[in-house]
Structure 1
Amino acid sequence: MARPRTISDQQIVDAAREVFLEQGFSATTAEIARRAGVSEGTLFKRFSTKEDLFAETIGLSEGRSWHKEITDLVGQGELCDNLKRLARLIVHTARIILPPLMVMWSRGHAPGSHPRPERDPVAEDSAAIAAYLRAEITLGRLREMDCEVVADALLGALTSHVHRELMLGPGIDTEQYVEHLLDAWWTGLAPPAENR
């Protein structure tokens, strides 16, 4: 019979967060395990890679539910409203992920100071947005465009809004920002009048 867990996954994540904040991504799994009070073997039974543990500590794993949500929106409802919904989901995710990253960077652990992780979450997010846009183009609900550029631009605008909010305090109200940003973009995204 297996022994019951005495250290929760959350306790391991909390210990890992402390170590990553102190040492950046170059922190060793041995140090994380020591701080959590578990063996490295236990650490890797719970989190298959150091990258997975890092993603969990900064909220990357919980923030990606919107990928499926936008896939389910293809061909449904008013497209401009769906894009605004997507924008709000991205802002919510950025508010979870950016603060711990900013703290880590402020301690001198810049992204270039560690090995490149196996996953590129920004590229994954951009690809999810681009796939959604391509699906809507196929249905004639959007005009032809370079979906990757539009996806990157949307992601950049929204994360920049959150970054500014975190650095300087509240600026433009998020609802107002999303509404006006997508209203302005809609002219360039909407299909020709004869397809509407």
Structure 2
Amino acid sequence: MARPPKISNENILAIAREIFLEQGVGASTLDIAEQVGISEASIFKRFKTKQTLFAAAMGILEQPPWLSVLADYEPTANVKSELTDICEQMLAFYQDLMPRVLMVMAQGKVSAPLPIVPPPIRDRKLLVGFLDRAVQAGHLRTCDTQTVAQMIIGTIINTVVTQHMIHKLSIQPSMPNFVFPPSETLIKNLIETLWMGIAPDS
């Protein structure tokens, strides 16, 4: 007798994402299970709660590779380039994540807290640690690393949300010839601006 096809977590999450985006956070896990072709109990064997399933399906549980860099990497004298690279990856992550989060937020509240630290809070904390290590190593001048980290995270999220609003609502900015710079240029300009205040004393 042939074995039934194995349903991967990726299959479950792909279908769950479609249903959550269509129906909001109140979507039934039974409906998700039926669409996948497994029992509701099977879903909860893999994802302990509906909140965990929701967070995983929406990509909120993703652990992008630059997190380990922020957590463990010892900055070098090339910290300006290292910070630029991390921020470019961070911007790409939020450009992918934020539209899904905003769509769900518009459809209703999650019935219970998600089992995670919100990505902006997580990333700000890790970025502060990275900057602190750079200061201690003499690669950055003494500065308020929490404020620097907040400026970076805030700029990235503000950019992503504004881009999403303009795209989804077909808003034409009132300023003539207004265009968002390419991601690489935006991050380069951000770090160049901050660098004037955090560059090591020569």
Q: Give me the TM-score of the superposition, normalised by structure 1.
A: 0.81
Aligned partners of 1:63 and 1:168: how far apart in 2? 28
Contact 1:74–1:135 (Cα < 8 Å) also in 2: yes
Q: Say which SS state the counterpart of residue 24 (structure 2) adopts.
A: helix
Unaligned runs of 5+ in 2: 168-178
Aligned partners of 1:113 and 1:60: how far apart in 2? 13
Q: Say which SS state the counterpart of residue 115 (structure 1) adopts.
A: coil
For residues 140-182 of structure 1, the C-alpha deviation after alignment (integer angstroms, 9 at most, x for no partner) is 2222333333222211101222222233256122111111111
Q: What residue in structure 2 maps to residue 116 of structure 1?
A: 113
Bigger share in helix: 1
Query: 1:68 offset after TM fit, Å?
Result: 0.6
1:186 corresponds to 2:188: no
Aligned partners of 1:152 and 1:30: how far apart in 2? 41
One of 126, 129, 140 as aligned partner of 1:128? 126
Aligned partners of 2:182 and 2:82: how far apart in 1? 19
Aligned partners of 2:102 and 2:30: how far apart in 1? 24
RMSD of aligned alpha carbons: 2.4
Alpha carbons of 1:118 and 1:92: their partners in 2 closer, same or farther (altered >3 Å)? same
One of 137, 140, 145 as aligned partner of 1:139? 137
Q: What residue in structure 2 maps to residue 95 of structure 1?
A: 95
Q: What residue in structure 2 maps to residue 176 of structure 1?
A: 185
Alpha carbons of 1:54 and 1:181: their partners in 2 closer, same or farther (altered >3 Å)? same
Q: Say which SS state the counterpart of residue 151 (structure 1) adopts.
A: helix
Unaligned runs of 5+ in 1: none
User: How many pairs align?
Assistant: 188
Contact 1:58–1:96 (Cα < 8 Å) also in 2: no
For residues 8-33 of structure 1, the C-alpha deviation after alignment (integer angstroms, 9 at most, x for no partner) is 22221122112211333333433332
Aligned partners of 1:5 and 1:123: how far apart in 2? 40
Aligned partners of 2:186 and 2:153: how far apart in 1? 13
Identity fraction in percent: 28
Contact 1:88–1:178 (Cα < 8 Å) also in 2: yes
Aligned partners of 2:51 and 2:140: how far apart in 1? 36
Q: What residue in structure 2 maps to residue 12 of structure 1?
A: 12
